[in-house]
Chain A
Amino acid sequence: MILGVDVGGTFTDAVLLTGEGVVTGKAPSTPRDQSEGVMAAIDEVLARAGAEHRDVERLVHGMTVGTNALLEGNTARTALVATEGFTDLEELGRQARPELYRLCAGRPAPVVGRDDRVAAPERCGPEGVLRPLDEDAMRERLDALDDDVEAVAVCLLWGFRHPDHERRVAELVAEARPDAHVSTSHATAAVFREYERLATTTVDAAVSPLLRRYLRHLTERTGEAGLPEPEIMLSSGGVADAATAAAHGSWTVLSGPAGGAVAAARAARRAGAEGAVGLDMGGTSCDVSLVLDGRVAVTGGREVGGRSLALPMIDVHTVGAGGGSVAWRDTGGALRAGPHSAGADPGPACYGRGGDRPTITDANLLLGYLDADAPLAGGVELDRDAAERVVGELGGELGLAPEDTAAGIVRVAATQMAQAARVVTVERGIDPRELALVSFGGAGGLHAAAIADELGMQTVVAPVASGVLSALGLALSERRRDLVESVLLGGGDLTAEAIAETVERLAGRGRDELGDAEAEVRATYELRYAGQAFELPIEAGPRAAPGELREAFDAAHEERYGYRDPDAALELVTVRVAVALPGSEVEAANKETAQRRAGRRARFGDEWLDTEVLGPGRAEIEGPAIWELPGSTLVVPPGWSAVCDGDAVVMRR
């Protein structure tokens, strides 16, 4: 049996693949020590399945320890060793201010304080060592480190290409401070461009001690319970053992959303779509991800909480539109939704917990999409009168009837999410009309058809397990290592031999770490025309020939930017290698025929229509209909037809 456990903001979800089906369990999250909620959710799901701890062969875990530490600034006290003259790089950033017109809006405080920055007496250039490392002086400076320092980041100029000085400095740090965690830039993110590499390395050093403590604690508890050692979901959608995750905390900052994106990719594949947009809409925000060629699209770097991380991470874009997002009228008279959220407490007005501002959930209730007579997940009773009152008040300000206001709130929210989907598709040169939309999270299915309509998409996939999809993604995930190295090869140096040598070396490391010499190797080559400063990723075999890369790059460049430049020299900047062992497959969760529930009136466009309501299970239906799945609701408007095979509802028009 395979067990996936995902820690969310409110609940910790567990999904067990028993070999015959899928069993789910839930427990409240325990932010102070996430392992408590994890163990409770595991006990719950095992009890429901009638299984024992020792029946579990594999335990895959997604968590938010790294993210929370980073966003809340509760990281370990960290020192930085950087090339002399360049110790302020993290604080300098790229010198752009975060907001053009709010002049005192600063960037987040640097991870490493000014007193904890140590100058390394050394210097490398593009071609190698310019000034040898003065080891005596280095030792002296390391001895002066404050006693409270728990972690040390080492990032030297050109260290991704000439790592010997970083390795030696790391040894000297280990001698001076045997208990401290050490992260070096070449081992954390061996990428070109010093700021992004250094920022990543400092984050890695600062969150790793927390990850190590948490995972050690969790591993003790799972060991005592007779469970296997947990594997950890990485930000890239791959899975690593606990020791690797503890050594590189920065690799886990998107561990949470990655599980959902992996499951969205699987749902798209099963529905016959190789390309898809994943839409995970919860209470406060909406995460939009991209699936290409059946796999989650991964970016080489992005910002998390205002900090640059040059790491392979799922390409997820977040907008502040969730069920609890508040609708309001701005000073210009336009109707807005979010980014302010009523959160889980007080929550939407219809929760009856004192929320007095209209939210997206209130609008969905008034339009008949949510059932006023059935409690939501977690047992929340809905108060339709409260929703009507607050939405009506907003309508008064806007000069609109309450129902028109509710329809407007839902429409505005849908266009915002559609724009987020455009960011991960159109701005990357991908046409969304050719993709499917995979909706999940509690609120995704309520808006999926409207978003698909806005983007010209023809297919929506709503997994039956939408409410616990992230945990399911964990249970189904492949075991994987991601390795990266910037090589900066151009002209005569860009040979098939040089490429094969790099890929082989990285693949060998990955296979060693996985302990499987047969694991699949996927290579991505980040290429550019000489003189360009950004690269395009090209997937090709592990022994790609320069001519093959050239052709693929020219074609990709033309597709994305409208022209190719056959005269320009080609440069290979970075090689990324993923080494993977396939994950499990699972049969349809629910083989029963869907139950028809009592129908109700719901509003589509300007009309109120009698609308059929179904429970989970197999069925085929024409819109208008509402499909109530465990923990989520799918709206099927007129003009759409939907079919469920027990695993997912696939909706087409």
Chain B
Amino acid sequence: MSGLDPIELQVMLGALRSACDEMGAVLVRSAHSANIKERRDASTALFDARGRMAMQAEHIPVHLGAMPSSVEAVLGADHSPGDAWVLNDPFAGGTHLPDITVVSPVFARGEALLLGFAASRAHHADVGAPEPGSMPADSRTLEDEGVVISPTRLARGGELDRELLDDLTARMRNPGQREADLRAQLAANRSGAERLMALADRHGSDTLSQAMDETLDYAERRTRARIAEMDDGTRRAADVLEAREGDLALELKATVRGEEIELDFTGSADQHEGNLNCPLAVTLSACYFALRVLTDPDVPPCAGAYRPLTVIAPEGSLLNARSPAAVAAGNVETSSRVADLVLAAFGQALGQGTMNNFTLGNEHFTYYETLGGGQGACPDSDGPDAVHVAMSNTLNTPIEALELEFPLRAVEYSIRRGSGGAGAHRGGEGVVRELEALAPMRYSLITERRRHAPPGAAGGEPGARGANLVDGEEQPSKASGHLEPGSRLRIETPGGGGYGEP
């Protein structure tokens, strides 16, 4: 170790962490949409001047690997104090279109010295796809999924580009809410920038820069220490995704060598005509998530933590798709399966393996929801019931909030009894959520584990498959259509796999 002593190191780690938390608090509290405020589908992060992520306040893991690629996308541009960039292009720093990222360069007070970047990412309720909510079940190219924003300067010298903002939001539903949410992201970045500047004022910009370097080294050491405790060798896992046209195979060869892990997805299906494709950033997020689960969950989420990890995903495959592939479901569903593959390779029972995305809406409203289900059982305890299991951890929309705001009535919201896989430890149980339409509307479902159940481990039974029903009729994993007033959509989410012989 060099430079900072163990005391300074801990002090700066705490300062960076609390700066990111404060950014998150500003974002969640000042946004307008339920998606960000109620469900917390948002993350904030600070980066050093070289664009390496120094700390992140991730509310949901799918943003883990995605934020660095956003900053990378604008790193080479000309930056001035008060600038801010906006983007959502999955092939230039984004993941899927509803996740809009705002990146602000941060300069030392009154100087031309770049200290780093503040970034915030939020899932916007609509980005102008033909399907309300912009999570279409059947998109075939990126254009079907909404407005694509390549990295663009949203503010220059502290002045918002009004024309750009109006142009972007006008192409989306509920432009006022979009603008408010983007302003909340800018406010979050301002708060992060202010903290970085204050740290530079107090400790000097050299010390700040050194502290960010050492944060990365520190996280790397902690991750390496845990990987070193794992048995060397190669493990394999295979699973499928439920595309409309049939199952798509995914394969993993995971190798532990000393203090390092390699995850090789060679052999997985090619990118397809549907929207289960992932940009590489999403695949990385899922691998980072699994690494944290398997090693030390308390390592600071920063670029250093992932240095001992190598991910191989061939270009043109489902897990490293080329433009202009449709990607709406890649971020939410394929990412869950990638995490599953890694966990399965290391002998874990799997959770529900889907976010059960559904969107209801018409020209007057959009309601997007994801549902929890069963967690896979652990070697020493039952899997928790009715929770988000992997890449998401958003809150639900309260029944009273949705009945107040939308032409919907809830019929049932309950635990799906008996859906957890049996085992020495039982898998977690799924959820039932049934809604009745009070006005004509469209529905769109992006779900998984409707054809293949989440497997158990070490002799544990699989959890129950999920089910989507419209007026009692079973629908496929990916589906969309109309609901008339009085029609009911019922979603039964999968249970988790059990662990050990029952």
Contacts and interface: CB of A to CB of B under 8 A. Distances in A.
Nearest to B393: A96
A513 to B, nearest CB: 28
Interface string B1-12: 100011101110
Interface in B389-421: 389, 393-396, 398-401, 403-404, 409-415
A95 B372 CA distance: 6
B478 to A, nearest CB: 22
A128 interface: no
Nearest to A92: B386
Contact of B30 (A94, A415, A561): A561
Interface string B24-35: 011011111110
Given A88-B414, A104-B378, A427 B30 contact: no
A416 B14 CA distance: 7
A336 B10 contact: yes
Nearest to B397: A533
Nearest to B29: A534
Contact of B11 (A89, A91, A412): A412
A327 B126 CA distance: 48
A562 B180 CA distance: 11
Interface string A533-562: 110000000000000000000000100111
Contacts of B30: 557, 560-563
B386 A94 contact: no
A147 interface: no
A105 B382 CA distance: 10
B432 to A, nearest CB: 9
Nearest to B409: A125
Contacts of A130: 409
- Give the dominant DSSP class at A's interface: loop
B387 A95 contact: yes
A158 B410 CA distance: 12
Contacts of B409: 125, 130
Interface in A82-117: 85-89, 91-97, 99-107, 114
Contact of A101 (B11, B289, B377, B415): B289
Given A95-B388, A563-B183, A126 B403 contact: yes
A12 to B, nearest CB: 35
A333 interface: yes
A193 B14 CA distance: 34
A329 interface: yes
Interface in A518-534: 529, 531-534
Contact of B37 (A192, A195, A532): A532
B128 interface: no
* Residue of B32, B383, B415 with most chain A CB atoms under a 10 A cut-off: B32
Interface in B267-302: 289, 292-293, 296-297, 299
A125 B403 contact: yes
Given A104-B377, A104-B378, A533-B37, A94 B401 contact: no
Looking at A194, A427, A488, A529, the one whose CB has the most chain B CB atoms below 10 A away is A427
A494 to B, nearest CB: 15
A91 B37 contact: no
B38 to A, nearest CB: 5
B50 interface: no
B351 A103 contact: yes
B22 to A, nearest CB: 5
A335 interface: yes
Contacts of B382: 104, 106
B209 interface: no
A94 B396 contact: yes
Nearest to A426: B22
B5 A415 contact: no
Interface string A583-611: 00000000000000000000000000000
Given A106-B382, A126-B404, A399-B6, 12 more contacts: A92-B415, A101-B61, A103-B351, A192-B400, A194-B399, A329-B6, A330-B222, A415-B11, A423-B21, A427-B25, A560-B30, A568-B176
Which 9 A/B pairs are nearest by Cβ-Cβ distance? A101-B297, A561-B30, A408-B7, A95-B372, A104-B378, A85-B412, A427-B25, A533-B37, A332-B222
Interface of B: 1, 5-7, 9-11, 13-15, 17-18, 21-22, 25-26, 28-34, 37-38, 40, 58, 61, 176-177, 180, 183-184, 187, 190, 218-219, 221-222, 225-226, 289, 292-293, 296-297, 299, 351, 371-372, 375-378, 380-389, 393-396, 398-401, 403-404, 409-415, 431, 434
28 contacts: A85-B410, A85-B434, A86-B412, A89-B413, A91-B386, A92-B415, A95-B388, A95-B395, A96-B372, A96-B387, A96-B394, A97-B375, A97-B389, A99-B297, A101-B61, A125-B403, A192-B401, A194-B398, A334-B9, A335-B6, A408-B5, A419-B18, A532-B32, A534-B28, A534-B29, A557-B30, A562-B183, A563-B30
